[in-house]
Structure 1
């Protein structure tokens, strides 16, 4: 956010510009290319805000070339029939649902959002303030409340961070996040952190990632803040705060709607669904799977018009969300419930928007086309870059030059049983006297895939094991360690064979070398692809550079 403000003066005023009818004025045209002044202005201003760069004629021309290249990539993708692929059709469904919810929010919620002068002044101070804080994270409110109670009872951030964080840096540093400023953290986290005094500890705070308990350890505010600086940054701050308040209004609306819909779950189905996601379901017949897909999962709506979703309905709705959301839903049964509630709310809002005919407006059609064009561009880019190959002679030369750097660290074979409570871990520990570790892992471990692997984690390094590493590497082959506290519950670990450190062979080092070198060759291949397209269509693209150079960046002056 600090970088964004640097471009403010340069983008607000551009000397020598003239008015234009932006929606009709073309800056470039050709096959698949139709870049209007209005489209350029919107994209270019966003670029300046994101990068902190200042407006300049040369930068305008470079940015126009980038827009032309993107349009040609999309044009070629459509010409080759990519919009007829299942991946495109699925994305079109997801985009339409997302835009319907956005259109409904804009119509019902956004007009009521106002940014007060006091909020602008507070944001300006935050923009010039840096805060250092540490936190403890928990996936659920109950777990967060338990951590908070332990802090109140005298436990330290350091000992609790070592328990809750799998990230070794956070675990060792007591959850220290370092210095941050305005718009660098989750909004809910930021609001609390900026209001805390150094040393003060917050109660659990719900964020987009779970729950955090925050302690500010230091803060610094630039001592001289002038009215002139505030006036320069005011338009940017107002735009940003309006966006944040719109997002907050959407979240509040979603929570209120979820409550009013009275969403109820079939708990047995939910538990079975989570078990399948976690990989703890035994092999089923095709008939069993078909029956399972039709099992009712949840109901919602008024008593007279309750709607029931089966597992198949849930999967269809979940398919239209991003991979990150689906992965978050797999963390726990509670997270899965929250994910399902969000799907219901999204579905209801989209249906309300559709009933109101919001999908028939020109603005909706334009937004849909723009979103799908962006997706096509990224899809083609990923496909082209994925085809990049590190030449064999380059790979071998790199290995020979850096052979000493490629070493296989010492590793231990490890099996794991993960359970939610210490009492359950002790019960399984007692069962080990008469039952095989692998059999217990298959039956009881909550780790995804344990039913198949028997809890086998493979040969792992001490670093991969985090805080458990030293104990595992001191153990003898065949020892069972635990119960040990981890972020997801309690584990029992069976320690197996030892593999000492040794040099890597070329084949073992190959994935590491490819990971290091492939980004260069992927970027090179992508540049070549775009250059080929530009050369193919060069004579059919017309640019109106005099219009570009004199374009006003403030649309209010357009005729």
Structure 2
């Protein structure tokens, strides 16, 4: 959505960089019906906007920000909002924001505020910042894969040989996993800690990083020849902040491990499968029509949660969270996260953090943000666009409302490149493609059909889609390396894109047109509210006060 004078810019400020007397701060800048905008309210918003955008102060920007504040008051206090306030999703997001704010404050007070950095750590960081190292590495997604690679290195297999197998990136694949020179702060903290501890030529055991596992070989070190105490003191405060930031994630993990014992957590796999089915098949959880399933689902310490208990907790999640649950693994992680947050939330309540002023202030800002999002969505969806406008939008964007180009391919998929080359020679010498596919292709469902895949959108073929589409019917393409496989393909047929009948997708076109025209829709809607409510602005005060203080 484009921003403009009639649109809402949700920018809230926790800081104020202006300095006025108390009398000036309490001056009324605008009156909107029975509501007022004081200079102090405006300065908070305006200061944050200037800082976040880098825009220079001027009267046009001042007036625009004030208009946005007026628009927010109009939408919240002088319009019918029953649709928003009664929305289940709106209420869920409010509650989720309230809990998130309380938990964030808990982490600030119980974890981040207690992080310390020693003089020794700062000096070590200073040394590392002034030292460049070069390394190569091997990547593995799992610890088991990493251990296998490490054993191969120990028996003499070279980095270069293994890198050519584990990397898909062409550079790392061909240069033995060489990363070049880097310095402290450039890489994953766990990776750096191990890399800086190695001697030149030394190889590390598998290292757990944020992305998987790495085996590191240090190739070289280049140190700054002369480090002075003066330089250290200049950088000390900055390095201390960086070290504290780097300690946040491990400190948070340590705290969670101290209050949540994963060894006491167990799941019933069948119950999890049932929940996943309900999430995406019957839609029971989304509708809130949760049946009373007594099947034991989760056990944590002495507490037993039934399938219904877990489904109710999932139902309370906003839809954007539920949308990420697409497998047993992500469901298990979601349930674990819910249980951890419940424990942390109860700790926060016991300490009275839900009543802390910073929590109440931040939650109030979240509430306004969430309301504006839902309100704008409601206005846009209920906008009545003439059929002629919708149809013109359809005609002007016909490519969006058309079927995709489709391809029918015949394939042979094998794991060995030399076998793929041999099969291609057989095909070129007149052997039947379908018979070879039935005999050698690894994709069972297509092999059983002589390698014929059936028509599918070009996008389904990923980065090779355009290559296949640009080929002639009957042409052979390949062998093509696809991950750990080699494929040979024949183009059997093409179906070009066709417009979808307007009447079949009128609702979809209407929604797209509403979204595209959202700026104008919101502008017109707010103008109507402006005409209904008495608004007074102190233009002299808006233009004359000194932001420099």
Measured against the shorter chain, the TM-score band is 0.5 to 0.7
- CA–CA distance in 2 between the matches of 1:363 and 1:213? 41
Give the gaps of 5 or more residues in structure 2.
1-14, 221-228, 285-289, 412-436, 475-480
Please state if 1:353 is matched with 2:359.
no
Please state if 1:550 is matched with 2:544.
no
8 Å Cα contact 1:100-1:349 kept in structure 2: no
> By how many angstroms is 1:350 displaced?
0.8
Return closer, same or farther for 1:308/1:159 CA change in 2, 3 Å cut-off.
same
Return closer, same or farther for 1:229/1:518 CA change in 2, 3 Å cut-off.
farther
Return closer, same or farther for 1:264/1:397 CA change in 2, 3 Å cut-off.
closer
Q: Which residue of 1 aligns with 2:73?
A: 72
Structure with greater contact order relative to length (CA < 8 Å, sep ≥ 6): 1
Q: Could you report, residue by residue, the CA deviation over 1:265-286 in whole angstroms, capped at 9, with x for unpaired residues?
A: 234433554566687x9x9xxx
Q: Provide the aligned C-alpha RMSD in A.
A: 6.8
8 Å Cα contact 2:138-2:214 kept in structure 1: yes
> By how many angstroms is 1:101 displaced?
1.7
Q: Which residue of 2 aligns with 1:250?
A: 252
Q: Which residue of 1 aligns with 2:423?
A: none
8 Å Cα contact 1:133-1:217 kept in structure 2: yes
- CA–CA distance in 1 between the matches of 2:513 and 2:171? 27
- CA–CA distance in 2 between the matches of 1:217 and 1:499? 53
8 Å Cα contact 1:314-1:340 kept in structure 2: yes
Please state if 1:381 is matched with 2:383.
no
Which structure: larger Rg?
A: 2
- CA–CA distance in 1 between the matches of 2:406 and 2:356? 62
Give the gaps of 5 or more residues in structure 1.
1-11, 219-226, 284-288, 416-428, 441-455, 478-483, 553-559
Q: Which residue of 1 aligns with 2:391?
A: 392
Q: Secondary structure at the match of 2:297?
A: strand
Q: Which residue of 1 aligns with 2:338?
A: 343
8 Å Cα contact 1:20-1:551 kept in structure 2: no
Q: What is the aligned length?
A: 477
1:216-231 superposed matches below 5 A: none
- CA–CA distance in 2 between the matches of 1:191 and 1:59? 51
1:298-447 superposed matches below 5 A: 298-301=298-301, 306-321=302-317, 325-331=321-327, 333-385=328-380, 391-397=390-396, 408-412=404-408, 437=445
TM-score by length of 2: 0.59
> By how many angstroms is 1:380 displaced?
2.1
> By how many angstroms is 1:342 displaced?
1.6
Q: Secondary structure at the match of 1:294?
A: coil
> By how many angstroms is 1:38 displaced?
6.0
Q: Could you report, residue by residue, the CA deviation over 1:246-295 in whole angstroms, capped at 9, with x for unpaired residues?
A: 5553343223323277222234433554566687x9x9xxxxx846x332
Please state if 1:89 is matched with 2:91.
yes
> By how many angstroms is 1:68 displaced?
0.5
Farther-moved stretch of structure 1 (459-468 vs 341-350): 459-468
> By how many angstroms is 1:377 displaced?
0.9
> By how many angstroms is 1:346 displaced?
0.3
> By how many angstroms is 1:539 displaced?
1.7
Please state if 1:459 is matched with 2:451.
no
